[in-house]
């Protein structure tokens, strides 16, 4: 554990020849204990027998164990023995498939000049199980009386060090000195403090974090009699914050937490929910029990608590009427205290869950107008995205956000630019100054945008009729260059954007057509309708094979078509003069069922389409088509 305890040259495959330090006590060559880890197989074995450590804690164990970060050992027995020249002795083995120290540790209160304390395992007369005194164990020393001696012989105030150190690296080094002697408080507090350090990102891949998390969880589950809610929430939150993905450990801690949910403070429950959301937990029963424990208690949360809870339930797709009602009321009270990030996260959560809470969104809009200059660009674009998602148009807020984006457009990332123009286009608000500022950045950096941002930006410019020939030509080049990476939805957006912008490039459209044919089975009803509409609008010829394939797929999905899809598809095939009898019959039948839903424009387009396809045809397509025409005329009258 750490450079002092693990020989860097013994990190080799088990059974590899030439590992001189394996199982030889002190590594005479490399000056480190002989611990072998199988880094290629993902499991590590402690070398047979014991080894001598010149300070701090020492382990001994039996080969054939193994360590896996996602495992859990229910019981582990020690074997072999070790002795240290000072400090505390440790005896244990890794359990196969498990993760964590087995603990038959003897804890001493002093750092003797020689000899020290020896821990006995099952092989040498001790029981080797648990933390009780086995035969031959030295007396247990209470933590309040324990002295913590580092490997260099210096004594430290461990509790003070854990709480005052501000560097994740320093805290990990401290854990490396004493982790085997940690109780649940030390392990969980150290893990939690590391997660809160500003430099915690730098140590996320450090394997010692997984060992520390395993130690904290094992101490909690197996030895801790109190099992405090604060300790359990800290472990779950820290594992999530450090992105350790130790799902089995979190599940085991959660089992203990469920037994004491009534004792949790609301903020501790929020921290647990945040951890589940970050780890993408999908245990619905677990989530329901935790959320029910918050019922009637959300008024005890501060503004940060309700913001984090909103984000968590949206991320986990927890849709509970009572929860959203209580959460909406508390968020409304807290709006005046929230900063830009809190407002953006909460608005995003409500929009994601499709909760249209007008009083809350009104309060958010007023707060943004009053404090817009203080908010980061990401918070502004995320907020306007949420309003667009629930179709709430606030002109004053949009004007304020527009000014904020214009002033920072050259510094904004691609996603921020795309979200801004997408939101304005979704709300049908054309802000020429905003579109001009964003257009310059999109044209300049389009080649470096992610594909999703390219599509969203182009869709917005086309919808607001701001896409000129130069813009669309550059977009066509990007489509041709990245055609293999376009999804079915992206292909639809591209075709729709060209048609809406009235930009014809037959070479690009030919490329799109071939790719659409390849991915026809991935198209949904809206894609089919929009593709037919786009090719008909551009009046392109020579694409009959594509349009017939679209017609066949449309017949199979006709029940899903909305009134707009039905009228647009009927209009498109009439416009290009391509008659597909099964499609006409299917549209006629479905339109008769959904006729009350049609808008006047939809009725007009559908009537024109059938008049062109049926009346001018040589054959009658059956009674349903004529019935439809009569019904359409009746509706129009």
If DSSP states are collapsed to H, E and C, what string results for 117-160? CEECCHHHCCCCCCCCCCCCCCCCCCHHHCCEECCCCCEECHHH
- Averaged pLDDT, 513-533: 95
pLDDT score recorded for residue 629: 64
What average pLDDT does the chain have? Answer: 78
C-alpha span between 208 and 242 (Å, rounded): 12
User: How many whole angstroms separate alpha carbon 20 and alpha carbon 415?
Assistant: 54
CA distance 384 to 378: 10
What does the pLDDT average to over 318-338?
92
The encoded tokens of residue 26 equal 């002190």
User: For 42-73, what is each residue's pLDDT tens digit?
Assistant: 333 333 333 333 333 333 333 333 333 333 33
- Is residue 105's pLDDT more than 60? no
DSSP 594: H
Assess contact for 325 and 353: CB atoms under 8 A. Answer: no
> What pLDDT does residue 624 have?
54
- Cβ proximity of 414 and 445 under 8 Å: yes
The token duo for 146 is 């324990």
Q: CA geometry: angle at 96 spanning 94 and 100, to 5°?
A: 40
Which is more confidently placed, 637 or 103?
Answer: 637
Handedness of CA 441, 444, 449, 452 (dihedral sign): positive
Q: How far are the Cα atoms of 21, 405, 490, 521, 635 from residue 485, in angstroms, in the given order?
A: 51, 30, 9, 16, 45
Q: What is the per-residue pLDDT across 524-551, written as a single tens digit (0 to 9) for each?
A: 999 999 999 999 999 988 899 999 999 9
Q: Are 547 and 535 in contact (CB under 8 A)?
A: yes
**CB-based contacts of 228, cutoff 8 Å, min separation 6:** none
For the cut 60, the answer to whether the pLDDT of residue 621 exceeds it is: no
**For range 505-511, the mean pLDDT:** 92
Q: List the one residue out of 189, 202, 205, 193 whose CA is nearest residue 166.
A: 193
Q: Is the pLDDT of residue 36 over 50?
A: no
Per-residue pLDDT of 445-468, as tens digits, reads 999 999 999 999 999 999 999 999
Q: Which two tokens stand for residue 61?
A: 């164990």
Kindly give, in sequence order, each residue whose CB lies less than 8 Å from that of residue 305, ignoring residues fewer than 6 positions away. Answer: 266, 267, 270
Distance between CA atoms of residues 354 and 74, nearest Å: 43
Cβ(398)–Cβ(384) under 8 Å?
yes
Q: CA angle, 527 as apex, 524 and 533 as ends, to 5°? A: 145
Q: What is the dihedral of CA 272, 277, 279, 283, to 10 degrees?
A: 80
Per-residue pLDDT of 348-406, as tens digits, reads 999 999 999 999 999 999 999 999 888 998 999 999 999 999 999 999 999 999 999 99
**Both structure tokens of 166:** 């501000």
Query: 11 in helix, strand or coil?
Result: coil
For the stretch 557-576, what's the b/e string if a residue is b when 16 or more beta carbons lie within 10 angstroms of its beta carbon? bbeebebbbbbbbbbbbbbb
Confidence at 234, pLDDT banded by 50, 70, 90: very high
Please return the burial class of 408, using the count of CB atoms within 10 Å of its CB with bins 0-12, 13-18 and 19+: middle
Query: If you average pLDDT over residues 293-300, what whole number do you get?
Result: 92
**How is the chain split into domains, by residue range?**
153-261, 542-636
Within 8 A by CB and 6+ apart from 154, the residues are none
- Evaluate the CA torsion angle 205, 207, 209, 214 in order and state its sign: positive
Residue 28's CB is within 10 A of a number of other CB atoms, namely 10
The answer, yes or no, to whether residue 101 has pLDDT greater than 90, is no
Measured in Å, how far apart are the chain's first and last C-alpha atoms? 84
Q: Report pLDDT digits (tens) over 181-192.
A: 899 999 999 999
Strands 82-84 and 52-53: parallel
Per-residue model confidence (pLDDT) at position 581: 86
- Helix, strand, or coil (residue 176): helix
DSSP per-residue codes, 102-116: ----B--S---SSS-
User: Residue 6's pLDDT band (boundaries 50, 70, 90)?
Assistant: very low
Residues 197-224: b if buried by 16+ CB within 10 A, e if exposed: beebeebeebebbbbbbbbbbbbbbbeb
d(C-alpha 281, C-alpha 283), whole Å = 6
């Amino acid at each position: 554990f750490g450079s002092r305890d693990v020989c860097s040259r013994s990190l080799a495959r088990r059974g590899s020849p030439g590992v001189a330090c394996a199982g030889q006590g002190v590594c005479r060559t490399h000056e480190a204990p002989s611990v072998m880890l199988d880094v290629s197989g993902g499991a590590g074995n402690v070398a047979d027998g014991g080894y001598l450590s010149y300070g701090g804690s020492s382990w001994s164990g039996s080969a054939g164990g193994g360590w896996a970060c996602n495992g859990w050992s229910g019981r582990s027995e020690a074997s072999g023995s070790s002795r240290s020249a000072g400090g505390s002795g440790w005896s244990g083995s890794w359990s196969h498939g498990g993760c964590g120290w087995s603990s038959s540790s003897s804890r001493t209160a002093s750092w003797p000049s020689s000899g020290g304390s020896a821990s006995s395992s099952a092989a040498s007369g001790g029981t080797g199980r648990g933390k009780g005194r086995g035969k031959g164990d030295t007396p247990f020393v209470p933590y309040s009386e324990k002295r913590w001696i580092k490997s260099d012989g210096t004594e430290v105030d461990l509790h003070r060090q854990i709480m005052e150190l501000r560097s994740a690296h320093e805290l990990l080094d401290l854990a490396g000195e004493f982790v085997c002697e940690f109780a649940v408080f030390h392990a969980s507090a150290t893990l939690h403090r590391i997660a809160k350090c500003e430099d915690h990102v730098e140590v996320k891949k450090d394997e010692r974090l997984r060992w520390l998390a395993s130690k904290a969880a094992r101490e909690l589950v197996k030895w801790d009699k109190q099992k405090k809610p604060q300790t359990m929430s800290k472990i779950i939150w820290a594992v999530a914050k450090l992105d350790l993905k130790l799902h089995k450990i979190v599940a085991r801690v959660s089992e203990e937490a469920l037994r004491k949910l009534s004792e949790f403070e609301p903020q501790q429950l929020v921290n647990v929910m945040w951890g589940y959301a970050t780890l993408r937990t999908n245990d619905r029963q677990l989530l329901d029990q935790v959320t029910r424990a918050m019922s009637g208690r959300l008024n005890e949360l501060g503004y940060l608590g309700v913001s984090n809870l909103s984000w968590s339930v949206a991320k986990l797709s927890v849709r509970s009427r009572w929860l959203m009602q209580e959460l909406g009321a508390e968020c409304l009270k807290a709006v005046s205290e929230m900063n830009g990030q809190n407002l953006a996260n909460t608005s995003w959560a409500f929009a994601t869950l499709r909760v249209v809470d007008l009083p809350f969104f009104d309060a958010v809009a007023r707060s943004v107008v009053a404090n817009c200059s203080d908010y980061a660009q990401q918070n502004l674009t995320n907020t306007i995205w949420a309003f667009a998602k629930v179709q709430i148009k606030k002109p004053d807020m949009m004007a304020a956000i527009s000014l904020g984006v214009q002033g920072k457009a050259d510094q904004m990332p691609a996603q921020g630019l795309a979200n801004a123009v997408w939101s304005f286009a979704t709300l049908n608000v054309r802000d020429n100054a905003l579109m001009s500022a964003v257009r310059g950045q999109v044209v300049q950096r389009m080649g470096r945008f992610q594909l999703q941002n390219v599509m969203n930006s182009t869709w917005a410019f086309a919808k607001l009729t701001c896409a000129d020939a130069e813009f669309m030509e550059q977009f066509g080049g990007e489509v041709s260059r990245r055609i293999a990476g376009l999804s079915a939805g992206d292909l639809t957006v591209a075709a729709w954007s060209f048609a809406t912008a009235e930009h014809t490039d037959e070479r690009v459209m030919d490329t799109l057509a071939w790719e659409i044919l390849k991915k026809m089975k991935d198209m949904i009803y809206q894609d089919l309708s929009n593709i037919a509409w786009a090719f008909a609008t551009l009046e392109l010829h020579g694409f009959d094979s594509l349009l017939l394939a679209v017609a066949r797929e449309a017949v199979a999905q006709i029940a899903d078509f909305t009134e707009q899809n039905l009228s647009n598809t009927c209009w498109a095939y009439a416009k290009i003069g391509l008659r597909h009898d099964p499609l006409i019959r299917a549209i006629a039948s479905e339109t008769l069922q959904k006729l009350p839903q049609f808008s006047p424009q939809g009725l007009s387009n559908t009537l024109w389409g059938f008049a062109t396809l049926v009346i001018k045809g040589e054959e009658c397509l059956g009674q349903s088509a004529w019935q439809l025409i009569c019904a359409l005329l009746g509706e129009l009258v």
